[in-house]
Amino acid sequence: MNKVFKSYFLLIIIAIGFFSCSSRHSDEIDFSELELIDSLEIMMPLGFLQMSKWQTYSENGKTYLIEYGLNRNGDLLIFKLDFNKGKYLEPLEIPNQGPDGFNSFGVSISYQGADSIYVFPASKEEFILYDSFGKKKREYPYNGEDRLRFYTSGVYSDISKSKEGLLIPTINDTRYDDPQYFEKVVPATFYDFEKQKFDIGIPYPDYLQGKYFPSNLTAAQVTYLKDDISIINYSFSDSLYLYNSNDNSISSIYCGIPNERGLNYLNSVPDRAKSLNYNAKEKNFEFSKYYNGKIYRLVSHLSEKRDRELNAYEIIAKNARGVTLIELDPDTKRIKYYKMPIARYFVFQGDKLFVGGVSMREDENQDVFKKFYIYSLK
């Protein structure tokens, strides 16, 4: 990698006040209402994976839910859900082995179109472009330092694509117990198509030096905003970071929840028990998405501040965590909060939001159905 953008001291921190007046206690969130207008049950296709990751793809006014994962043979299956038709389309299978194989024990993808499917093998120093038939179109060597490669955690993955290249979440071989982890690891990097190498690296915010939290929260999540701007979402941060590839500038904008500011960082690498306790009690900003002029950000958190006194198992048993969808207007900086059900998928299409994926049932024919709730965005 030629250069790492080091201008975090020039960060423009945009302070956001609380825009809604309320007589409620300041520890509570002043929720706006999303109208629940319908629900939808989708029959699961044959060979559907219990363990999968997801993203979305929009085309001609339609948004598809893309789910993917490895089957028992290690081959990649990509499922595409069409909400208008109310069903999954024919899945695409890409073999692990063979001339068109990706040859890896793990994989992430970015679905940019039927003939533009980027596959990021976990154990290879390259990524691959596939067509709609699962055939290789091109291979791109990373050519990065310290085995820099694609990295994501959680069940949602995304990238930001432009004509010049891809901005993707990255990691290298630095051990997490290294005191300089947040200096040595570059969480998001721009891959230049013409140079066929990593070019511009986006470092972690400076305030993380000397701080720790569970390693599952370290990954960046990248998505396209508009023009030359991409959003970098960190699970641990109240702010979103906006990267402008035109001038390599970075700014930040507050997009958190008002009942708690910041996270309680640790002074040492947590063990398994401390990680479980931390994940149970602290906020997790799971993903962000730009849609129809607004930034939407999903955060899971304790519903009641008093539940911090519980241990992790008590929090799980009590189902004490809630989910809030944050709506941010990047122009006016106005924020709204929507209380959401515990769910896996949040898909925006037209003036609707499809939320679901947790509730499932099996009928008398042993067909399995997944339930989605449909909210109005009007």
How many residues does the structure list for the chain?
378
Count: domains in the chain: 1
pLDDT score at 46 = 86
pLDDT higher than 50, residue 9: no
**What mean pLDDT comes out for the span 83-99?**
96
Q: What is the pLDDT of residues 190-208, one digit of tens each?
A: 999 999 999 999 999 999 9
Q: What is the pLDDT of residues 17-59, one digit of tens each?
A: 222 333 333 357 899 999 999 999 999 998 898 889 999 999 9
Q: What is the pLDDT of residues 335-352, one digit of tens each?
A: 999 999 989 999 999 999
Tokens of 202: 């986006």
What is the rounded CA–CA span in Å between residue 321 and residue 330? 28
In DSSP terms, 234 is beta-bridged to 220
Residues of the chain above pLDDT 90, percent: 80
**Residue among 295, 356, 274, 277 nearest 323 (CA):** 356
pLDDT score at 292 = 94
Q: What is the pLDDT of residues 270-327, one digit of tens each?
A: 999 999 999 999 999 999 999 999 999 999 999 998 999 999 999 999 999 999 999 9
Q: Is residue 10 part of a domain?
A: no
pLDDT score at 377 = 93
pLDDT score at 12 = 31
The amino acid at residue 27 is D
With the CA atoms of 217, 219, 221 and 222 taken in that order, what torsion angle do they form, in degrees rounded to the nearest 10? 160
In DSSP terms, 76 is beta-bridged to 70, 94
The amino acid at residue 336 is K
pLDDT score at 194 = 94
Q: Is residue 2 part of a domain?
A: no
What is the rounded CA–CA span in Å between residue 48 and residue 372? 17
The amino acid at residue 140 is Y
pTM: 0.89
pLDDT score at 262 = 64
pLDDT higher than 80, residue 13: no
pLDDT score at 29 = 85
pLDDT score at 360 = 87
What rounded mean pLDDT belongs to the chain?
89
pLDDT score at 23 = 30
Q: Is residue 70 part of a domain?
A: yes
**What mean pLDDT comes out for the span 52-80?**
95
Most distant CA atoms of the chain, gap in Å: 65
Tokens of 1: 């990698």
Q: Is residue 268 part of a domain?
A: yes
Q: What is the pLDDT of residues 212-262, one digit of tens each?
A: 999 999 999 999 999 899 999 999 999 999 999 988 899 999 999 986 656
Q: Is residue 59 part of a domain?
A: yes
Q: Is residue 288 part of a domain?
A: yes
**What mean pLDDT comes out for the span 113-138?**
95
Q: What is the pLDDT of residues 317-335, one digit of tens each?
A: 999 999 999 999 999 999 9
Taking the CA atoms of 255, 149, 66 and 39 in sequence, report the sign of the dihedral they define: negative
Whichever domain contains 335, its CATH number is 2.120.10.30
35 exposure class (CB count in 10 Å sphere: 0-12, 13-18, 19+) = exposed
pLDDT score at 27 = 53
The answer to whether residues 228 and 244 touch, using CB atoms and an 8 Å cutoff, is yes
**What mean pLDDT comes out for the span 10-21?**
30
Q: Is residue 106 part of a domain?
A: yes
pLDDT score at 145 = 76
Tell me which residue range forms the domain holding 67.
28-376
